[in-house]
């Protein structure tokens, strides 16, 4: 069995044909992906449905709305008279969250401080 040697022109044509075949396979794959993504595939793992669901919007509004949490934080500081220590609270949130002042971090810190301050008020009332 002997191999048939190819000249450079034949090698070039074969390489071009292989590249075109690969591109065609990629186009077919992309077309299949796009065709599937146009339809509701249902189930728990359909990310478009999850992203557009009412519960996701409600969660984003409730837990990730920066303006809402800032108003709530201002109200919290006013109720407990903590305006002087606002910077200390914000620095603690940054320290706990790796340097970021996150909505979730502020919310958790307010819950913690609210519980502590309410317990202290109960002790003074006794």
Residues 66 and 99 in one domain: yes
Model-wide pTM > 0.85: no
From the list 62, 84, 57, 58, the residue with the least C-alpha distance to 72 is 62
Contact 86, 78 (CB under 8 A): no
Residues 76 and 110 in one domain: yes
Give CA–CA dist 100/122, Å, rounded.
Answer: 33
Residues 33 and 84 in one domain: no
pLDDT by residue (tens digit) across 28-63?
988 887 777 666 555 566 666 767 778 878 877 777
Give the mean model confidence (pLDDT) for residues 101-113: 89
Domain that holds residue 11: 7-38
Residues 31 and 93 in one domain: no
pLDDT at 23: 94
DSSP string, 87-115: HHHHHHHHHHTTT---HHHHHHHHHHHHH
State the chain's mean pLDDT as an integer.
83
Residues 76 and 120 in one domain: yes
Q: How many domains does the chain have?
A: 2
pLDDT at 81: 87
């Amino acid at each position: 069995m002997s191999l048939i040697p190819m000249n450079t022109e034949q090698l070039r044509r074969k390489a071009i044909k292989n590249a075109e075949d690969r591109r065609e396979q990629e186009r077919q794959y992309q077309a299949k992906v796009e065709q599937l993504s146009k339809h509701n595939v249902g189930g728990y793992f359909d990310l478009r449905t999850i992203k557009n669901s009412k519960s996701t919007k409600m969660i984003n509004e409730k837990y990730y709305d920066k303006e809402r949490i800032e108003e709530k934080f201002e109200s919290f500081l006013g109720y407990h008279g903590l305006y002087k220590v606002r910077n200390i609270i914000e620095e603690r949130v940054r320290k706990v969250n790796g340097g970021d002042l996150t909505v979730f971090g502020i919310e958790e810190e307010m819950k913690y401080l609210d519980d502590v301050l309410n317990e202290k008020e109960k002790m003074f009332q006794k």
